Structure 1
Amino acid sequence: MPPPSSRPSKSPRPASSYGRLPSEFSQPLGRPLVITRFLSLIALLTCLVSDTAGIDRPRPPRHEFSFVVLGDSQFEGPNAYNRLIDEVVRLFPSFVIQVGDMIQFPADSTVVRAKWKRFKAQIAPLGEIPFYPVPGNHDVLDSSRAPGGEPVYREVWGETYYSFDYRNAHFVVLNTDEGVTSEIVGKQWTWLVKDLREAAGKDHIFVFFHRPIYSLANEEALHAIFVKHKVSAVFYGHHHHLNFHERDGITYLMTTSSTEARNPYGERSGVFHHQLLVTVRNDEASIAVIRANSVLPPDIVSVEDNSDLHNLHRKFFTRMESRFSDLPRDGNRYTVTLSVNNPSGQDLVAFFEWELPNNRWAVEHSRGVRVELPASTRDLSVTFTLTRKYPSAPEAYPSCIARAHYLTHDGDVVETKHRFTILGPATEENP
């Protein structure tokens, strides 16, 4: 079931209209006052145009759209895939193409139909965003590599290879799993040659299939025909990691699994959940790799969390520092009183610990102090006694670290951290 073509519509050329000048400007030239007014108006308009002439106003492109490319899912991590679909909805592309292995094919056709039904429920949040499938080996082959799943695939999706036009671009979907060998041959090859020939004149040709081109038996023949017909980019999946290379002006890009990221070497090996966003503007195209969980809704930060966390950052300590010479002193013992606030709307528990440099200080509560801070607490005094071990030694001064755990509106716990600093003397003399 090839998708319908989408052709750009031509905007009507705006009609020009010319009005007549007001009657006072059409009087005989013997009226200097009228001429003066007219010239003044012209001068004013000239100034206005000059003031805005430097503004670089955007020019609407003839063609502009975006589409998303997703990798294998196979229902191994449905939660990860569901989140990715939610992110696609936020990006709101023109359409989505998934490069195969949408399900894990077993032998029983009844089970296969149930899996396709479940998969379609997963992509239902796309709503009116069109979804175009690419057949993968797990979609159409059985365990013996026979195309036992292809009849059900056709029943659910239609043809296993097809093409369509969208705006100024041509899109080609191929099937790399028609038989025992992985290659594009026979009727599909004949169809491909004819289809690419008929796409001449398009600004872009994008090709999609499942297995990487370097694993296909007729790789060189495919690449040659792609070069001949000026293919812009080729997308595929299968190996569950990101891989990019360019050859003869063609971008080849393998996208990772949408749900599986098990490689112990992580991102440097190309293994991380992501989607590809392709943006087309006239005769140019840009491909962006968007990491999963990075497309956020605008309400991710609530008004309450925003206000509370900013106020905690700014107002937790009434004063964030004190001069050492200003501390109350009894011999080598110094009293530090911290004035603490909880400007948030929820009860907090804060933990206070001291950083004691160079083992030259001691504090009576060496393992820290736990303090309850009810919502809207103001100027609560928390007092510590510091002992200076070596009075004559050059000093590094203690500082207090306070930590509190804040519960956000969506259940995340944020640790807030606050520092109170003791400053040295105003002069370099030892106090």
Structure 2
Amino acid sequence: MRHVLRGLAFGLTTWMAMAAACGADAPTTLADRAFEALRANPPVCPDHFDFVVLADSAPMAPIFLPEAFHQMVREWNALRPAFVIDCGDLILGGAADGLGPQWDEFERVTAQCKVPFFPVVGNHDVACAESERIYAERIGPLTYAFSYGNSRFIILNSEELDMAQRISDAQTAWLREDLAKTKAKNIFLFLHEPFFAMDWDANWGNVAEAIRGYPVKMVFAGHWHYYRYWGERDGIRYVITGGGGSEVRAPEEEGGFEHYLLLRVRDDAVDWAVIRPGAVLPPDVVTQEQVDAVRRLQNAIRSESVLAPLGEGLDRQVNIHFENPCMEPIASTLRWHVPPGWQVEPLEMAYSVAPGESLRMASHIRADGPEAVRFPAPSFITEITPPGAEKAVQIEKEIDLIPVIHSPYAVAPVMLDGDLGEWAHAAPIPLTYAYAFDITDTEDLQSQVRLMWDEQHIYIAVETEDDEFHQPYAGDIVWLADNVQLFLDQWEWGLTLTETGPEVFMYKGPGRRSESVNEVVGLAIKRDGRRTVYEAAFPASEVAPLRLQADNSYRFTIVMNDLD
């Protein structure tokens, strides 16, 4: 049953009533389709459900809706609330004869929403009698109400053509009539323009009087492009939620950010969360199958190892190898990112690899002198779309630059005492990379390492000049303060001076229980003013499967952690 007043449709009470009115006819408007979807999925528990509210999803140019709104639709499909209510300004608008394509695009995008989508009319959606007619025929009634679970949802029209920033008396009378008939525990009102945030008495007083005494929990509006909890009055909470994708018009700290609201109804308790798009992801956002496909591609392309003896230059051809692991051909471009001090030719190469085939791409890489042979090294970048994927994967890898250091044989027995008298023929290697401090500030920190070996041990000595030694921890968190962190092939170690004395901590090792204090590695630590010396002996058992013999090699990384 509809009552027509000034050309505007008032009525459409509940979705159950609409089912009787529509009969077997196919839904014709966006609201019709939302009601049909709601009928098909009644609440499992009438006192326990969620719904979404937003406003102002219109673009700033005709036709194409903002990407933020597209993202929100994807997130609602993941969240699966009972329904969505958009509080107006659904399109940009303009002259009535230009609205068709805009509504086409809006309906195309909202058709991708897998939950019922209920519209509220905004000032950009209607501006004249003809645009009202188009809205009513395509989108839905300008004013309507429906029940879901234990709650009543009332959509008001803030855009009546003969009214200015106020709900008309006729519409207020319809509101009173609907309120008088409902037995809902919770009532929610929705409109586009926030009349309640203007002059309360002049712009909202008649509605405030009409809803007094009813269990109205919240009133939602948009129009102003920001989020704002306007506060509570007469037990009713008022919210402006104008961040549905259109241009925001306030600083972020004043609510100027894209968002939507997720409402939770639990019996007569109602809460909400403000959600920025981009943080809600579907269950299949990352699958093991996807990860495996990406890793296969990442592992399929690599540079050959580039050995660079410490203190020498580098000027040579470097080969990039690619083995296509896919059942489809791969064609793309390889580009180089070249840090200062390096040169690469050519900077870009197109390539194509058949399924299961391999390819070698050669580039000439040169450093501007021995001092330039350091990290970051040149890296190659390529984009590949895995089979069945929608997006390309960007793969970036540095060349496998391996600075080579010669570790001398320990010709005399090594005494772990921190004096380093036996280390004269082991040249110190300065630690020249800095993280979170100035490497040139030698008063703060400077370190160097020496390496030796014999058939029973790998020996490591670290000398550090530090303005303050600070290590209040022990165990697996010693890396938080002053300590030496070592990576020897498959092993990771921490060497530190705790309050109870020197401690060796093993973070991981092949076939070992990880994260444990190690009593096998020998360690002496000697402090003398600003200078701290760490002297350690790693038995063969603690570096296995590395074999301690001449002409063998191992990967080695050292970090000097400093907390002050």
Shorter-chain TM-score bucket reads 0.5 to 0.7
SS, match of residue 423 in structure 1: strand
CA distances 1:249-272 after superposition (whole Å, capped 9, x unpaired): 644332336563275x78666566
CA distances 1:284-315 after superposition (whole Å, capped 9, x unpaired): 44434555577666677799865442223345
Q: Is the 8 A contact 1:112 1:152 kept in 2?
A: no
The Cα shift of 1:208 comes to 0.2
Q: How does 1:2-81 map to 2 (within 5 A)?
A: 2-4=12-14, 63-72=47-56, 76-80=61-65
SS, match of residue 216 in structure 2: coil
CA distance 1:211–1:177, change in 2 (3 Å) = same
Q: Matched residues in 2 for 1:380 and 1:173: separation?
A: 65
Aligned to 1:94: 82
Q: Matched residues in 1 for 2:372 and 2:85: separation?
A: 68
Q: Matched residues in 2 for 1:354 and 1:152: separation?
A: 58
Q: Matched residues in 2 for 1:120 and 1:339: separation?
A: 48
Which of 290, 312, 331 aligns to 1:347? It is: 331
Q: Number of aligned residue pairs: give it.
A: 360
CA distance 1:230–1:90, change in 2 (3 Å) = same
In structure 2, give the amino acid aligned to 1:211.
E
Aligned to 2:240: 254
CA distances 1:120-170 after superposition (whole Å, capped 9, x unpaired): 85477269954433233344543xxxx776566666677643433211112
Q: Matched residues in 2 for 1:129 and 1:252: separation?
A: 25
**TM-score normalised by L of structure 2:** 0.49
Segment drifting more, 416-425 vs 79-88 = 79-88
Name the structure where helix makes up a greater proportion of residues: 1
CA distance 1:291–1:200, change in 2 (3 Å) = same
Name the structure where strand makes up a greater proportion of residues: 2
Is 2:381 the partner of 1:400? no
Q: Is the 8 A contact 1:65 1:93 kept in 2?
A: yes
Q: How does 1:96-115 map to 2 (within 5 A)?
A: 96-102=84-90, 111=97
In structure 1, give the amino acid aligned to 2:86.
Q
Q: How does 1:25-424 map to 2 (within 5 A)?
A: 63-72=47-56, 76-80=61-65, 83=70, 87=74, 88=76, 91-102=79-90, 111=97, 118=104, 121-122=107-108, 125=111, 129-142=115-128, 160-178=142-160, 179-193=162-176, 195-196=178-179, 199=182, 202=185, 204-212=186-194, 213-215=196-198, 217-219=202-204, 222=207, 228-248=213-233, 250-256=236-242, 258=244, 260-261=246-247, 270=255, 274-291=259-276, 306-317=291-302, 324-325=308-309, 337=318, 340-345=321-326, 346-355=330-339, 365=344, 368=347, 370=349, 372=351, 374-375=353-354, 376=356, 380=360, 382=362, 384=364, 386=366, 389=369, 396=374, 399-407=377-385, 412-419=391-398, 420-423=400-403
CA distance 1:343–1:268, change in 2 (3 Å) = farther
In structure 2, give the amino acid aligned to 1:181.
A
SS, match of residue 180 in structure 1: coil
**Which structure 1 residue ranges, 5 or more long, are not aligned?**
8-59
Q: Matched residues in 2 for 1:118 and 1:207: separation?
A: 28
Q: Is the 8 A contact 2:259 2:275 kept in 1?
A: yes
Q: Matched residues in 1 for 2:55 and 2:318: separation?
A: 58
Q: Matched residues in 1 for 2:204 and 2:99: separation?
A: 33
SS, match of residue 378 in structure 2: strand
The Cα shift of 1:209 comes to 0.7
SS, match of residue 111 in structure 2: helix
Q: Matched residues in 1 for 2:429 and 2:112: separation?
A: 70
CA distance 1:430–1:395, change in 2 (3 Å) = farther
Q: Matched residues in 1 for 2:206 and 2:350: separation?
A: 73
**TM-score normalised by L of structure 1:** 0.62
The Cα shift of 1:186 comes to 2.0
CA distance 1:239–1:294, change in 2 (3 Å) = same
Q: Is the 8 A contact 1:175 1:210 kept in 2?
A: yes
Q: Matched residues in 1 for 2:347 and 2:137: separation?
A: 68
SS, match of residue 66 in structure 1: strand
In structure 2, give the amino acid aligned to 1:415.
Q
Q: Is the 8 A contact 1:227 1:250 kept in 2?
A: no
Segment drifting more, 250-259 vs 219-228 = 219-228
**Which structure 2 residue ranges, 5 or more long, are not aligned?**
1-10, 18-43, 408-425, 431-564
Q: Matched residues in 1 for 2:99 and 2:337: separation?
A: 61
Aligned to 1:48: none
Segment drifting more, 79-88 vs 249-258 = 79-88
CA distances 1:344-402 after superposition (whole Å, capped 9, x unpaired): 5313432345545xx5xx65x46746474635565847475656735xx7984562311
Work out which structure has the larger RCO, using CA pairs closer than 8 Å and 6 or more positions apart in sequence: 1
SS, match of residue 247 in structure 1: strand
In structure 2, give the amino acid aligned to 1:2.
L
Q: Matched residues in 1 for 2:325 and 2:62: separation?
A: 38
CA distances 1:71-116 after superposition (whole Å, capped 9, x unpaired): 24567554327846853556544333232344566776xx499679
Q: Is the 8 A contact 2:83 2:116 kept in 1?
A: yes
In structure 2, give the amino acid aligned to 1:399.
A
Aligned to 1:36: none
Percent identical among aligned pairs is: 24
Q: Is the 8 A contact 2:221 2:239 kept in 1?
A: yes
Q: Matched residues in 2 for 1:369 and 1:119: separation?
A: 40
Segment drifting more, 70-79 vs 177-186 = 70-79
Q: Matched residues in 1 for 2:257 and 2:62: separation?
A: 13
The Cα shift of 1:235 comes to 1.4
In structure 2, give the amino acid aligned to 1:66.
D
Aligned to 2:8: none
